[in-house]
Structure 1
Amino acid sequence: MTIAAVDGSIGGVLVFGDRGTGKSTVVRALAGLLPTIRAVADCQYHCDPDKEDTLCDSCRDKTAAGKSLKVRRIDVPVVDLPLGVTEDRVVGALDLERALSSGEKAFEPGLLARANRGFLYIDEVNLLEDHIVDLLLDVAASGENVVEREGLSVRHPAKFVLIGSGNPEEGELRPQLLDRFGLSVEVSTPEDLHTRMQVVRRRDEYEADPHAFVEKWKRKDGQVRRNIERARDQLPEVEVSDKILEHTSRLCIALGTDGLRGELTLIRAARAAAALELADKVEPKHLRQVAPVALRHRLRRNPLDESGSTTRVQRAIEEHLPE
């Protein structure tokens, strides 16, 4: 999750695992760990004032007219997309209240507008309805949400990191959506006695006094936030050599991943991992660190190999990546 926070272009995180292992809790706690961002103060899409090419039409019109954009710092949006949500709620629709009261056609932004420059979280993502999946695929590919309905024609930025969680026993994810997740994390119920006791104790402490619990871990949270900020600053300075690219391609060829998205994701994730260490270049150890989470959900099923995807990736790492 931290790697995805350092570089949003990695493509999001899929968290699959047993029920009751804290998947949703971790994702929803992410907002408190992220550094604040600069945003246009009165913009409903919280545009980035430092990137003119990503401004919405309203902000672009203001700058074209010579008006200065008011700027404030906001928390990174972390928006829940619930199951059963309507298409209008996701993409936005006509503001009926304004239409009825004043006869004015105005756009009421949806969840995609709220999630711009942040994270869009879908719990039980494998149960999401197909038409909403298709919609998300279109927007994720373009980075824009286009609404053409009820006499409205609206186009606004919608760049977000997609976070999904679910239990694989309840159904598989559509391949098209699965491919859109940059990283895949498998969560299992801990078998270690000490770990289980710690998790239960901390959960109990939080429920007894949430404020005291937050204060207790405030310094730790601040350290994580500072690490992410430093890594973001370091990211442009991290070099990727031709040798690292060769290792990456050899690994993906050996695993038979389709397309080149696996290589791109692996390189970006390795670069983010190096940035978190404040390193100036990607090394094989960074590839070894992120390869399982970047590649295991991209493997084709092999009926002749009963090994799990994680085992297959680890085996390829040992064969094709140097220590």
Structure 2
Amino acid sequence: MPPPFPLSALIGQDALREALLLVAVDPSIGGLLVSGPRGTAKSTAARSLAELLPDGHFVTLPLGASEERVVGTLNLDEVLRGGEVKFSPGLLARANDGVLYVDEVNLLADGLVDVVLDAAASGINVVERDGISHSHVARFVLIGTMNPEEGELRPQLLDRFGLMVQLENCFDAEIRQRIVKARMAFDLDPDAFRRSYAPAQQDLAQRIRQARTVLPDLPFADDVHDAVSTRCIEAAVDGLRADLVMLRAARALAALESAETVTSTHVERVADLVLRHRRHQPEQGASDGGTDSMQAGKAGNGKEPSDDRQSQSTEAATNQRPSDGASQDDPDWGYLPPEPAGMLNVKGVIPLSTKKR
């Protein structure tokens, strides 16, 4: 594999870089879903995270993978012979302590997405076959990417991704030029380009290691819980998963910044990442809006809206009356001259009256 593009060299993707660091610090957040059009550095960013982790391995889950290849298999022949259970590890086992990358996750079979999300949230992969169970640690950073033009994830699966970043096309000429120049410099000489960003990469890796160490000891104050519940209620989310994910993400951010405690400011900074794919718009009934408008109209002039409509109709009729002395008794009043109508000459059409019955 060619060397990855440095994460610290990404230009114009601050929200994506921060989200990647959060799930790297605390994989129990449940993974990151990156949605955006083609050519917005989704795959580049995912690959760039692996080298910042302690083990640094990157595992790709292909779309055509079978369930056995993903979760692993049990050798039942050895069990029937009276031997020990032999487990052949799958991609989830290989991704332990690394990054599991699923490109075009919206095109992956729903059953596989369920299995991967279960393992990402719990950190454990359980394989059951013919009454025999085997489990192993599967603590990995899950990154899924998708192009919304190719279809969406079901809401049940979408909710189970911890964080979501929505990328957009860049229409700033200066930023586009900086991105292109950086990419061309990397393609021309990857080693030299990576050496120029080595100090920044080492700093990010060190921050991740230190944050993982202090993460369990960071306390939550009551105002943090208040901020989380308030934002989740305002977003009308389903269930309590958003509350838990928001607390974990805020704690990971506080750990990255070497804060002594988690604050409501940390909650505000991660709230959009947590709620973007979970937020429900409040339903506003048309009848309520109509009632409010009617009440407002009545309060403004003391009349019912029907009275206003009747007055407007009367006024419109008055305005349509002739002002040149003519009256409705005049037989020519309201007369409109005939206008020519277009005629279409269609050959071979038999008049309806001449058709045989």
Common fold: TM-score over 0.5: yes
The amino acid of 2:236's aligned partner reads G
Equivalences for 1:116-127 in 2 at 5 Å?
Answer: 116-127=96-107
Contact 1:147 1:155 (8 Å CA) reproduced: yes
Matched, 1:244 2:231: no
Partner residue of 1:21 out of 15, 21, 40: 40
Give the SS at the match of 1:297: coil
Give the SS at the match of 2:142: strand
The amino acid of 2:21's aligned partner reads T
Q: Deviation at 1:152?
A: 6.9
Measure the CA separation in 2 of the matches of 1:196 and 1:15.
20
Measure the CA separation in 2 of the matches of 1:138 and 1:273.
23
Matched, 1:198 2:178: yes
Q: Deviation at 1:232?
A: 2.2
Matched, 1:146 2:126: yes
Matched, 1:160 2:160: no
Per-residue CA deviations over 1:18-46 (Å, capped at 9, x if unaligned) read 11111001101111122x2xxxxxxxxxx
Contact 1:94 1:150 (8 Å CA) reproduced: no
Q: Equivalent residue for 1:223?
A: 203
Measure the CA separation in 1 of the matches of 2:118 and 2:49.
25
Measure the CA separation in 2 of the matches of 1:134 and 1:105.
25
Matched, 1:11 2:11: no
Matched, 1:233 2:233: no
Bigger Rg over Cα: 2
Q: Deviation at 1:135?
A: 2.8
Contact 1:107 1:152 (8 Å CA) reproduced: no
- Give the 3 Å change call, closer, same or farther, for CA 201–303 of structure 1 in structure 2: farther
Contact 1:238 1:281 (8 Å CA) reproduced: yes
- Give the 3 Å change call, closer, same or farther, for CA 292–122 of structure 1 in structure 2: same
Seq. identity, %: 52
Q: Deviation at 1:223?
A: 1.0
Q: Deviation at 1:211?
A: 1.6
Measure the CA separation in 1 of the matches of 2:193 and 2:175.
18
Contact 1:16 1:186 (8 Å CA) reproduced: yes
Q: Equivalent residue for 1:42?
A: none
Q: Deviation at 1:270?
A: 1.1
Measure the CA separation in 1 of the matches of 2:145 and 2:231.
27
Give the SS at the match of 2:51: helix
Deviates more, 1:20-29 or 1:107-116: 107-116
Q: Equivalent residue for 1:253?
A: 233
Equivalences for 1:76-115 in 2 at 5 Å?
Answer: 76-93=56-73, 106-115=86-95
Which stretches in structure 2 are left out of the alignment for 5+ residues?
Answer: 1-19, 286-357
Which stretches in structure 1 are left out of the alignment for 5+ residues?
Answer: 37-74, 306-323
Measure the CA separation in 1 of the matches of 2:160 and 2:58.
18
Contact 1:12 1:182 (8 Å CA) reproduced: yes
Give the SS at the match of 2:102: strand
- Give the 3 Å change call, closer, same or farther, for CA 10–130 of structure 1 in structure 2: closer
TM-score, L = length of structure 1: 0.74
Q: Deviation at 1:16?
A: 0.4
Equivalences for 1:51-66 in 2 at 5 Å?
Answer: none
Measure the CA separation in 2 of the matches of 1:158 and 1:149.
19
Measure the CA separation in 2 of the matches of 1:257 and 1:139.
23
TM-score, L = length of structure 2: 0.67
Equivalences for 1:280-291 in 2 at 5 Å?
Answer: 280-291=260-271
Matched, 1:298 2:275: no
Contact 1:24 1:165 (8 Å CA) reproduced: yes
Measure the CA separation in 2 of the matches of 1:244 and 1:269.
12
From the two aligned structures, give the one with the greater strand fraction: 1
Q: Equivalent residue for 1:309?
A: none
- Give the 3 Å change call, closer, same or farther, for CA 142–225 of structure 1 in structure 2: closer
Partner residue of 2:248 out of 254, 259, 268: 268
